[in-house]
Amino acid sequence: MRFVNTKTIASFVTVVFLLFIIKNIVVSIVNLNQNSQIVTNLMSQEENAKKQNQFLKERLYFVNTDEFIEKQAREKLGMVKQGEHIVLAPPATSSPNEIKNPDTTPNWKKWWKLFF
């Protein structure tokens, strides 16, 4: 039986150990890249949430103003101030005259009828 040289065994163990370290480094780099993308996405979501929050704060401020409350009371609830009167106009309807067909008589015949 042939005995394996100790240098060969040491070299083999060293190569396996280095391959293991290289594999772990590659996995760490891939994970770091994925985590970087996640952080970027979360930062953009945070920015959008801040913009939405600012919009909602401004909207809340506007909704709490007397002008907005009065406008909503007038439009949606039909309320009026003291001394004011509501005037309701009937909806516009088309009259029978508007429905009739347009005259297709040529203009020269209309002028002829007018003068003769």
Q: Please, what are the averages of pLDDT over each run of 10 residues along the chain (116 residues)? A: 78 96 97 97 97 97 94 89 85 66 85 88
pLDDT of residue 3: 67
pLDDT of residue 19: 97
The SS3 of residue 106 is coil
User: Contact 86/78 with Cβ under 8 angstroms?
Assistant: yes
pLDDT of residue 33: 96
- CA distances to 21, 22, 41, 42, 43 from 34, rounded to whole Å, are 20, 19, 11, 12, 14
pLDDT of residue 29: 97
Please tell me the pTM assigned to this model: 0.49
**If residue 6 lies in a helix (H) or strand (E), which one and from where to where?**
helix 6-63
pLDDT of residue 116: 80
DSSP assigned state of 100: S
